[in-house]
Amino acid sequence: MPDSWVNSAQLTGSDLHLDLSGPGSRRAVLIRALRDAVREGRLAPGTRLPPYRSLAADLGLARNTVADAYAELVAEGWLAARQGSGTRVAERAGPPRAVRRSASVPIRPAAPTYDLRQGTPETASFPRTAWLASARRALNTAPDAAFGPGDPRGRIELRRALSDYLTRARGVRVTPERIVVCSGFAHALRLLFGGTQGAGAGPLRGPVGVEAYGLPFHRGIIEGSGARTVALGLDEGGARIEQLADEPLVRAVLLTPAHQFPTGGPLAAARRAAVVDWARTRGALILEDDYDGEFRYDRVPVGALQGLDPERVVHLGSVSKSLSPAVRIGWMVLPAHLVDGVLAAKGEREAWVSVPDQLTLADFIESGRYDRHVRRMRQRYRHRRDRLVSALAERAPHVTATGIAAGLHAVLRLPPGTEASVVKAATWQGLALDGLSAFRHPAAVVPAGDGVVIGYSTPPEHAYGAAIDALIGCLPPFDAVPEGPSP
């Protein structure tokens, strides 16, 4: 391919020489030429490049070839794209200089400047004063027996408080005797499938139905017990429950019915009834992950699935999203026939949750402090969600946010073929986020499309605006969306 000259006033106001010779595809050659122009200083930081259509016309290339080249260079950090201001040479363009290190010193990646990963509440909002007040009162009023060997179910004070709260706030049908306190959702899965004795020691056996998108960590716990996971497809109504009829060996299904993780949206009412009917007919169990049921913004809260059949649904929750993942307390609301098996799997006291923490949470709930904290954070997270949605509408209208009626995260739907580039660009810009494909079950038949999962609860308040700005800068520009296959 011969050398070419770009003559575009939108570029630098003068001619620019691009060497389009050498081996490789047209896309690869163009990427190399633009990268060299930036590296050699012929394209200075901040220089605006022409729209990909104009550059394609100047060079005699297909528009998609230029669009793909722009997207790749944005992902690598050489270029920056922002809605309304076009594609420019990045201010920090170029790879970081290599630093010599001793072979004995491991190289660790630098901490991100901004964190938009899902799963963590705003840590600065932990209610320290209120929590301390509950801790003092709980310890001052606790009986002496509380500090000796106790009940493997958990302290009765906490189980009573949880029973009242879950009945009132989540529509769970429960008594304290059906609750087993654990250290979180992952601990609950281990007790159900693996136990503290290792794989297969828990009361559940056999293949498990799971949603086609979910946390790989949770699937790993189930599969580590020796159980196979079966992916159920997802659509706008949630998990495709009817697919369970094609899996006669499945005797348990793990669902996020209030707010599907991570794609968003509740399980449709007809499917809620259908999965309970399936469990009754099959003699199976439904594991209900109620991970963020308190945080619903635009609609009436979706009640717990467990309320439809307490003997067929295991309700699982924790305070990881509502308070902090540092407070290692979760709970299992169990059918009567599972209680003894779970307690046997729990084993000796080393697997029990700290009693002072249990007593503190019990007082925190009974005093009304927990409800007040959840209401305050619900308002804050709704405001953050609205800021994200407004920024997208103004600066990246071709990117839509879904799953935003509840929870602490949103899914940004991206043009096909751009997810990997956005994740790479975010890494270069010091922004931590997750691609949607990272949550896909390996056996999922129909992909949910390209996207990124944005945890809008994670950054501290003072950094949230800057985190959104960094995010917008990593999204593909509208004029870089491919129109068809490249030549």
Within a domain: residue 161? yes
pLDDT of 84 reads 62
Name the more confident of 206 and 165.
165
> CA distances (Å), 350 to each of 152, 157, 182, 225, 346, in order?
10, 20, 11, 20, 9
Within a domain: residue 95? no
pLDDT of 201 reads 63
pLDDT at 11 over 60: no
CA distance 261 to 210: 11
Average pLDDT for 447-454: 92
Residue 450: partners with Cβ closer than 8 Å, 6 or more residues away: 413, 414, 415, 416, 417, 418, 419, 436, 437
Counting the structural domains of the chain, the total is 3
pLDDT digits (tens, 9 = 90+) for 91-109: 754 444 443 444 444 444 4
Distance from chain centroid for Cα 186: 15
Within a domain: residue 378? yes
- 359 and 378 part of one domain: no
Helix (H, G, I), strand (E, B) or coil at 7: strand
- Range(s) of the domain holding residue 57: 4-89
- 294 and 324 part of one domain: yes
- 343 and 417 part of one domain: no
CATH of the domain at 16: 1.10.10.10
Residue 42: which pLDDT band, with cuts at 50, 70 and 90? Answer: confident
Residues 281, 227, 259: CA angle, nearest 5 degrees: 65
CATH of the domain at 435: 3.90.1150.10
CA-closest candidate to residue 482, choices 454, 452, 453, 450: 450
Distance from chain centroid for Cα 442: 17
Within a domain: residue 94? no
Asked, as a colleague might, if the bond just before 310 is cis with ω within 30 of 0, I would say no
CATH of the domain at 187: 3.40.640.10
Within a domain: residue 35? yes
- 133 and 262 part of one domain: yes
Within a domain: residue 37? yes
- 58 and 184 part of one domain: no
- 43 and 172 part of one domain: no
- 363 and 378 part of one domain: no
pLDDT of 212 reads 97
Last residue of a domain, one of 321, 351, 367: 367
Average pLDDT for 51-77: 82
Residue 195: which pLDDT band, with cuts at 50, 70 and 90? Answer: low
Average pLDDT for 241-257: 96
Within a domain: residue 96? no
- 193 and 277 part of one domain: yes
Last residue of a domain, one of 339, 367, 395: 367
Last residue of a domain, one of 322, 347, 367: 367
Tokens of 164: 């009242």
Within a domain: residue 206? yes
Number of H helices, E strands in the chain: 13, 19
pTM (2 d.p.): 0.78
- 315 and 218 part of one domain: yes
pLDDT of 451 reads 96
CA distance 383 to 274: 35
Beta strands in 127-192 (DSSP E): 179-182
- 179 and 241 part of one domain: yes
Element (H, E) at 473: helix 461-474
Residue 200: which pLDDT band, with cuts at 50, 70 and 90? Answer: low
- 198 and 231 part of one domain: yes
CA distance 213 to 456: 20
- 462 and 362 part of one domain: no
CA-closest candidate to residue 118, choices 472, 485, 432: 432
Least confident of 62-66, 107-111, 402-406, 458-462: 107-111
What's the burial of 107, exposed, middle or buried (CB within 10 Å: 0-12/13-18/19+)?
exposed
Average pLDDT for 152-156: 95
Longest dimension (CA), the chain: 87
CA distance 390 to 394: 6
Adjacency order of strands within the sheet including 409-413: 400-402, 409-413, 451-455, 434-435
